[in-house]
Amino acid sequence: MTKSKTFGELKKSGYQSKKIKDELRDNLVLKLKKKEKIFAGILGYEDTVIPDIERAILSRHNMNLLGLRGQAKTRIARQMTELLDEYIPIVKGSELNDDPFNPLSRYAKDLIAEKGDDTPIEWVHRSERYAEKLATPDVSVADLIGDVDPIKAANLKLSYADERVIHFGMIPRSNRCIFVINELPDLQARLQVALFNILQEGDIQIRGFKLRIPLDIEFIFTANPEDYTNRGSIVTPLKDRIGSQILTHYPKTVNFGKEITQQEAKINPTQKQNVEVADLLKTLIEMIAVEARQSEFVDAKSGVSARLTISAYENLVSTAERRMLLNGEENAFARIGDLAGVLSAINGKIELVYEGEQEGAAMVSQSLISKAIRNHFLTLFPDPAKLKKKKKVSPYQKVLDWFAENNEVDILLGDTDKTYKKTLDAIPALEELLNTLSGTNKPLGNDKYLMKEFILHALAEHSQIGKSNLERGIQFKDLFGSVFSAKDLDEGEEELN
């Protein structure tokens, strides 16, 4: 499209202006007909959130995205600009992005009245038609709507009764744009009231000025349900003026969670090249978040952000890389023991209830890893407890017998790959146990050793073998032998006393 430079050229080109909601609607209709992807990189919402957003756009609604933290609400809002026309014309120099065919500001009206078809035109790209404001306690009506500017009045030698002394706030300056207010309940009630007429009638009031400015804005609000009770609320009349309230959610499956984590994790190219992470560990990272969202120690109202799994995965890769560098190795593969390196990522991403605070963040985080290992093990192998209850032959018996012969295994976090593999190969029963897996699931190469370590951790979590923390690793041993040795030690101390 040829970009006209004057109002006259724009008229001759046949350009027809649209309201922003019509722009969004028309462009969405075209994309739906062509079956094009609407929101790139938004995973797990294909059958839930995205259809609701599309219905809201088709209905030309303002919308409120309601959901817990880390559910891609802001990212969705920012991607809405892709549904706008690539460029729109405005009166050059206007602060309200004035449509030449329908000017709103005094500046644009006066300029068109003076120059007519010679009025200069400039073009705004859709990437510039987005504004965002985080609701914080210091936000004022002047910030959002506007105020009288005494400096402007003095410089222009104007009376305070002249509307040209007004300094418009963020919302009027976002005319013909998408305007987002994040964490809406945190916005003070008096400021929410100031939005009533803007949403419904387009009226704004600034220091007694009676202005009728039919602003053309697509409003998108985001809110966290927790905010309704902990920090604030959305006043009812404002909620009533928002056309669609759309509920977001966390990934409904582990596979969706893995896709999101892999997409969002910031892994250095060198790390990608040198550090191998098996699918088993990617699944366990997601399972940690699943367990956190179900934990009695974690505040469910606060939610567990997808940022937990993203940060945890980044830490996992870095833990393996650090070992590789210290050992002077060229490559590394992440191990189950490396999950100890993700504790710092978990600690900062969960809000604990009172009972969780009593346990301590570190203990809760470790228990989430333990539960993830324990529960994922049952998707691959038979439940040891059920086998015992039904008096069936246990496939784990040879492993248990090996430990019952006073054998112990120390897996240190800093072990070289060679030492790590040699340690696990010393337990022949683990190899036999792996052979019980079906051909498609049977691990090979590094994955085989990872699975052997996983089995040891899982058997310990299911109270089949003993596990104790060493200064730089973990020791696995016979469960009952460790109990008896502890008992004998206590008895010996009593005799000495």
Average pLDDT (464-479) is: 90
| Relative orientation angle of helices 446-461 and 361-377, to the nearest 10 degrees | 110
For residue 258, being part of any structural domain is answered with: no
The CATH code of the domain that includes 282 is 1.10.8.80
Backbone angles phi, psi at 468, to 5 degrees: -140, 150
* Number of helices (H), then strands (E), in the chain: 25, 16
The CATH code of the domain that includes 133 is 3.40.50.300
Q: How far apart are CA 375 and CA 433, in angstroms?
A: 18
Q: Of the residues 247, 275, 307, which one is the last residue of a structural domain?
A: 247
Q: In terms of domains, do 128 and 216 share one? A: yes
Q: In terms of domains, do 289 and 356 share one? A: yes
Residues 213/163, Cβ–Cβ less than 8 Å: no
Q: In terms of domains, do 338 and 449 share one? A: no
Q: Of the residues 201, 216, 247, which one is the last residue of a structural domain?
A: 247
Residues 123/176, Cβ–Cβ less than 8 Å: no
* Residues spanned by the domain of 91: 7-247
For residue 254, being part of any structural domain is answered with: no
300-352, pLDDT tens digit by residue? Answer: 888 898 899 999 999 999 999 999 999 999 999 999 999 999 999 998 889 89
pLDDT category, 493, cuts 50, 70, 90? very low
Q: Is pLDDT at 495 greater than 50 in this prediction?
A: no
Q: How far apart are CA 280 and CA 453, in angstroms?
A: 12
Q: In terms of domains, do 485 and 447 share one? A: yes
Q: How far apart are CA 32 and CA 276, in angstroms?
A: 39
Q: Is pLDDT at 496 greater than 90 in this prediction?
A: no
What pLDDT shows up at residue 463?
92
Neighbouring CB atoms inside 10 A of 287's CB total 22
Q: In terms of domains, do 210 and 293 share one? A: no
Q: Of the residues 377, 401, 432, which one is the last residue of a structural domain?
A: 377
For residue 111, being part of any structural domain is answered with: yes
For residue 457, being part of any structural domain is answered with: yes
Average pLDDT (148-153) is: 71
What pLDDT shows up at residue 497?
43
Q: What is the DSSP letter of 186?
A: G
Q: In terms of domains, do 215 and 89 share one? A: yes
For residue 369, being part of any structural domain is answered with: yes
Q: H helices within 242-383, ranges in order?
A: 254-264, 269-274, 279-294, 307-327, 343-347, 354-359, 361-377
Q: In terms of domains, do 306 and 353 share one? A: yes
CA atoms within 13 A on the CB side of 227: 20
Residues 248/337, Cβ–Cβ less than 8 Å: no
Q: In terms of domains, do 403 and 344 share one? A: no
Q: How many domains does the chain have?
A: 3
Q: In terms of domains, do 308 and 411 share one? A: no
Q: In terms of domains, do 288 and 227 share one? A: no
Q: In terms of domains, do 133 and 154 share one? A: yes
Q: For residue 324, which amino acid is it?
A: M
Residues 258/282, Cβ–Cβ less than 8 Å: yes
For residue 468, being part of any structural domain is answered with: yes
For residue 252, being part of any structural domain is answered with: no
Q: In terms of domains, do 279 and 238 share one? A: no
For residue 259, being part of any structural domain is answered with: no
Q: Considering the entire predicted model, what is its pTM?
A: 0.83
Average pLDDT (113-139) is: 93
